[in-house]
Structures are given as structure tokens and as C-alpha cells.
Structure 1
């Protein structure tokens, strides 16, 4: 039992967020599966999925993004496109959340926007615009981008170093937040009798030394400002999360690792930045495979794995690591060590190496696992069995909730909403209905 950030004495509640990035999802063969919807270029696909998630009382759906089709060692994009590699298709996330906002009333809406290439003023105004239009339901998934391909698409010679990217991101986030706060809460007067529209004394320039002057062309929103979300897993990324993030998207390969990460982030936030640890929601990624029974779920997983084409999976791994053709019998750890730095994300590479070492993966093993779930934790079983695992992780404070990755669109989310969510609700660890109209309220974060 904890005290929520809204000041009410209520039981601690689990949070659920859906990560959406069709057509491949975390399962590389999603787009080929007959149980998956194939209308992912239509607005109906996203609106229907959002309504399913809202029926399941999810806190939020968020859209991943990258600013280039991933390239191979030779700088070519053809391999990614031919094999439906992750990143073949990306909508603009701000456009998607604007579309989904009109189809929902409570579901939170997360958009990925890069600090490396989008000016802070544009970030602040675009996100706050949708926050107003949605009634206060927007979150910003903060990324720095990681590849030279993205940099070149945005007019730069090459991507900056991780340290430089995060240093710049610190300034961008500070600038965006100051712009969101450039209007005092009561600045918009709209007094028809006196004729005063805005009390200009309550609208301000932002501090010097940042990347804008302000003020923004919008007042504060219903939830004050969009929620900040971040997923950096490197030491520098964790420091960034401890400073800014209200939702942290984490990946732990064991309950102990999850618990250690959550504790570290909360302590860093308190000691290094004077933040209340309870102002952070640490959500662990998970891919649920739900069946009517444990045996049915195991059989479903076997079918999904059997559909993975090994040569295609190895080709995707070679592209990811910018590697020449790999020996599928070689040690995955040795291959990862030889290609350190290839992905642009040291935290991601550390996770690949940790799992590969613990499970004694060959290159073939790593390629197949990457094609199945991108090495994210996988929960396989009946609704009750999966609810058992989620509840155990939640109650032992390994996580404040979970980022749910689907294997199949929309089938995986429908299975979860129809089966697992009612189990969690019966146990009293997940809401039966929305208690707030804003995302901050749903997350139990202070305004």
C-alpha cells in the first residue's frame, strides 16, 4: 500500500502501456501470419486497436519511431525492406496520436520525438497542441536517435556521440519544459466584460541560455503538460531517465535485475536530482503469449517459432550488427563483442550480450530469439498463469507496471484484454475503469 501522487490513500495499482509499431511488431513474422490484420496502412487499424486497449483500461499506447530505414554494413537499405526488418515502415507518431485521439476518450497517447533533430519549440508546440485536443492525454517518448542514416536524412553528416546526444537532449528537454511553463496556469483570462483576453504579466520569456526565447503560443493544458517517457538503458541513459522521466521503459532479463534497475532509478532520482521516487513509473517490457490453457499457449508459441525463417532471421541480425555473413554455429557473445558499437545503442547491446551469455546462445539462437521477441521477457500461459507472473513482479516491486509487446496485431492485444486484464482486475491490482480524464491522473502523477 502506498500513497498516490494525487494525495489519496489508495492501493498501489499496476500500469499497462501498449507499444505499437506495425507491421512487424516484436515478432518478425507478424505481417505474414494469417491471424494478423494486414490493413496497417489504414486509420481504421489504429483506431480499432486503440478502442481495444481502452476497453482494457490500458494507461497508454505509444508509437515507436526512427527517421530512416535501417541500413546494412554497406549503407544499403534493401536488406531491411526485402526481409520486412524492423523499421521498414514508420508513420509519423504525432500524426498517429492525433488520429487516435479522436477515436478514444481516456487512453493515453505517446509519441516518439527525437531531441537530436527536432527544434525544442516545435516539439513543445506540437505535443501541447495534441494534449489540448485530446483533453490532456499525451506523453513524449524522448529519444536521441542512434544511426548515421537518421542523421543524413535530417541534413547532418553523422550522428553525434552518445554523450553529446544526451547532453544536447538535457538542454532540449529543459527548453521544452520551460516553454510549456511560459504561461502561468491562470494566464488565460478571457474576461468578456473587461475585454482582457490574456494577463500578459503571467506569460514569460524562458531563461536565457536555452534553445528558445518563448513564450509558447499555447497556454497550459488540462494535465498541465505532457508526460515524459524515456527508455535509455546505458549508464548515461539511466542518468537521463532519473533526471527527467516520469515513465521509464525498462528491459530486465530476470526479476532480480528488474528490481535492481527500478531501485537504482528511484535512488538516482532522489539523490542526484531531488525528485520524489514515487514520481517515476518504471515499466518493464514483456511479450505475453496467451492461450486458453498453459498447454495451448505453449503450442501457440511453438507455432510462432516454427514460422520463423532462419536464413531471414540471420540476415536481419547481420544487418543489425553491420556484419558480414555470420557463421550460425559461432558463439553469439563472441560475435557481439566483435561488433560492439554497431547498433548505436550500448544499452541494447549490453542486453543482447547478457542474455546470450546466460543462455549460451549461438548466432542461430540469437537470430531466432531476436526474430521472436527481440530478447524481451516472454510470458507464456493461460490468463491466470500470466496474471500470476505479472502480479508477482508488481507486488515484489520489480516493476510499477508493464509495456506490452504483441506478437500478432491485433490478436495478441485482444487475447490480453479479454483474458489477462479481467484476471488482474479480479485480484484488485488493476483498475476496473478510468478514474481520471487525463494521462497524469491515470498514472497517479501530480499535476
Structure 2
């Protein structure tokens, strides 16, 4: 019998509020998320728990409503009210950890390729090859204005630019051959000029000629991540991504998306096994089922309906005073199509609302709890069994674990779920050492197709 493949674990870290809208008000939530020590502690916890990657999302503006007002987000402490710079945070984490991957979100829509390449290569050097780049194109006018534009360009323009930017970033990172830095003190040669080259990118795309002012980093380039769920986003992921984050509402939805991504990768000339799909989850783990259900009930009780409705109105650019809470959520979403800037996310919301016949009130409450992504709840054994089922069914190569509250939700997952995943052979044994020296190497080692024993 073949050994089961191990799965990838990614910890999403974005305090004070992630998917669970009442996170910052919960008594078990840490309030020191503006201190480097908070992120170092979380990273060390994830490292002990066998996680491959600590991932930080990013946004370049506080989310606004239809009138361009950020008041709802700020007053409620909603997702995006505060966003620290991922590179700065991960630089602090890099020196205090030894194996956890460091995933930074960097938009391709505003920064020059040279700036992106130098920043990511610097962090890859300083972390000894542990960096991943979550490639986003940004989605809102607020972000565009903060970066000097009048409005966000079209999706087609953003993805066209993203293709060019990623191409140029990788060219810059390859501008030094692996053996170019010789530091020959006796011969007086620091670097071999013949092994350092300018980029071949055409000047009409405003490419940086280089070379990059850094030697090649340990990985050559960061592990490439992406989470676009639209048709254009999946096309982009199939072309570039090594890890893809998928937010679907169940096993079948995830399996369909993973199958489509793998087929798109094959048609793009890639080995589908080079692209690993990680499903977003918000697990609620406990020592027993009763303990976990008690925790979930406590989380749900802290969601205020009025605040949830206003947050949904802000998200969908609707007037909260004109919303009919007992109306079909599907009809409400149809009237406000395109408000979020994410076709894939809105498709997922519409599918769940249709399947479960949700009202606007129910949609608002569920959106405030977990943004309609799966929230497996139970003992460590039960959650581990559910994740293995997804894994075996071809619905996911791993999981993006979003904590409801920090750090307790991660602590519960590491205490209760991780030992069960290890027992089932889905994670390395505690204390096991990887033979790979970089994040990409460890992911390849861990996620390679299983061979018969």
C-alpha cells in the first residue's frame, strides 16, 4: 500500500480581525498585535505545530462603503481596519525562527518590479530561503487612490500587468548566476561580471534592466502563491502559482476547483503536481466535541446582528437602512454584483446562499462568523478525520488555517488536531528533520506524490 501523502499547513495571521468579525472583542484574543513579540510567538507556535508557512495578507486601504467612508470598518474593528506591512513583520519573525515559511502579500499593480524583487530577495537571503510571495493585483479604488491613481484599473489590465511584473521579478532574481558571487580575496575578485547580466525584458513594458543589486537568493525566487478565484485568476494561478488558496464552502466545491486548476496547469505546459491547492478553513477544535461546540457557541453569541448587517452593507456597497433582512440573500447579492471586486468570492457567496436558501440576515451573521468558509468543529480526532477525507478525495493538498481568535485558536489546533494528523501520517513526526534547506524544498519533499512502500 502506498503511504498517504503529507499535507501542507498554512497559518493565516492578520490580527486584530480575520474572518471572525468579533475577534478583537473576545476576552481570549491577544491585544498585543502591534508588537513584534506577538508575531514571533505565533510563528514559533506554528513552527512547533508542523506548519509549513506563516502567511500575512495585506491591503493598501481601510475598506470603504459605497460612499467612500471607512467609518463602519473602523468603528466595528472590521477586517482591514488595521494592516501591518507584511515584509516588516516577517523580517522580525525571520531572525527568531528557523524553519517556518514566511508568506508575504505584495501587490503587482503599483510597485515597480525592481522594488518587489529586491525586497523579496532580501528577505529570502535573511531567512535562508523561507520566503513565499502571495501575488495579488489589489481590487479597490481606495487602494488605488492611496497609491496615486484615481481608480483601480480593470481586472484585465491588472492581470496583464501582473503577468509582466512576475516575469520581470523572476528575470531580475535570475540576473546573478548561482556562482557569480565568488569573494576571492586572494585574487581580488568579488563577483564574476560575466555571470551577472541585465534582464531581457522589453523596454516598452517599463522593465528594469537590472541587474539586481543582490546575488541569487537561496531559493532562486520565492515560492509563488495566489488566491484568485475568477476565471482570469485561475488562468494566472495555473501559469505561475505553486500554492493556490481556495475559499469554497465544501469538499465538492473545492474538489471541482482543484481539478480545474490542475487541468489548466496541464494545458499551460506544467506538471499539475507543481501546483498545490490549499483550502481555507476556520477550525474550532477542542479536547472533546462538547468542548468545541461550547467554544463555537461562545463565538457566535458575540456577533451583534446590527453590526453584522452594517458590515455586510459595507462589503456589498449597500445602504444598510434600505436592506430587508428577511429578503432572499441571493436576490440581494444579485443587485450588488461586483461590489467586492472579487468575482470568485461573490460566486461562492451566491452558491451558498442558493443552496441553503439564506436570508439577508442569515448571510450577514454567517459572513461575520467565518465568511462562509468551512468551520470544522469538534475534537482533534474528528477534525483530523475531516481534513484527511478532503485530502483523500482530491479536494485539497493542504489547508489554510484561519484562527477565529489569536493565539488561542492556533493553540487549540496545535494541541488537539496536529497530533492526530501526525498519527495518521499526514504531518511529519514531532521533531522530524527535513532534508531540504528551503521552503520550496520542504514543500516538494512533503507534497510529492506518494510512492509504494
Q: TM-score normalized by structure 2?
A: 0.94
Q: Aligned equivalents of 2:170 and 2:348: distance in 1? A: 31
State which of 153, 157, 169 in structure 1 corresponds to 2:162: 169
Q: CA RMSD in A?
A: 1.4
Q: Is the counterpart of residue 268 in structure 1 residue 261 in structure 2? A: no
The reply to whether residue 363 of structure 1 matches residue 360 of structure 2 is yes
Give the match for residue 243 of structure 2: 247
The structure 1 segments of at least 4 consecutive aligned residues displaced by more than 6 Å after TM superposition are: none
1:425 aligns with 2:418: no
| Aligned pairs (5 A) from 1:181-260 | 181-209=174-202, 210=205, 211-260=207-256
Deviation at 1:254, TM superposition (A): 2.1
How far, CA to CA, are the matches of 2:108 and 2:395 in structure 1? 29
Change (3 A) 1:234 1:434: farther
Correspondence 1:406 to 2:403: yes
Tell me the CA shift for residue 208 of structure 1: 3.1
| Equivalences for residues 366-445 of structure 1 within 5 A | 366-432=363-429, 433-435=432-434, 436-444=436-444
1:153 aligns with 2:146: yes
Q: Are 1:319 and 2:314 an aligned pair?
A: yes
Structure 1: unaligned runs, 5 residues or longer: 3-9
1:434 is displaced (CA, Å) by 4.3
Aligned residue in 2 for 1:284: 279
5+ long unaligned stretches in structure 2: 448-453
Pairwise CA distance, 1:316 = 0.4
Task: Answer whether contact 1:105 1:437 (CA < 8 A) is retained.
Answer: no
Distance 1:434 1:253, change over 3 A: farther
Match 1:16 to one of 3, 9, 15:
9
Once the two structures are superposed, the pairs formed by residues 271-350 of structure 1 within 5 Å of their partners are 271=267, 273-325=268-320, 326-350=323-347
- 1:277 & 1:83 partners in 2: Cα distance? 42
| 3-state SS, counterpart of residue 284 of structure 2 | strand
Equivalent-residue separation in structure 1 for 2:393 and 2:326 (angstroms): 39
Change (3 A) 1:39 1:393: same
Aligned to 2:119: 126
Give the Å deviation of 1:184: 1.1
Give distance in 1, aligned partners of 2:247 and 2:187: 55
- Give me the whole-angstrom Cα distance separating, in 1, the residues matched to 2:414 and 2:133: 25
How many residues align structurally?
A: 438
Matched, 1:77 2:73: no
Equivalent residue in structure 1 for 2:104, among 108, 111, 119: 111
Alpha-carbon distance in structure 2 between the residues aligned to 1:208 and 1:50: 37
1:55 aligns with 2:52: no
- Once the two structures are superposed, what CA deviation does each residue of 1:81-100 show, in whole Å capped at 9, x if it has no partner? 00111110000011011011
- What corresponds to 1:6 in structure 2? none
> Helix, strand or coil for the counterpart of 2:282?
strand
Q: In the TM superposition, what whole-angstrom CA distance separates every residue of 1:10-69 from its partner, at most 9, and x where no partner exists? A: 852111000111001211111111111111111111111111000101000110110001
2:283 counterpart SS class: strand
2:8–2:443 contact (8 Å) kept in structure 1: yes
How far, CA to CA, are the matches of 1:208 and 1:149 in structure 2? 31
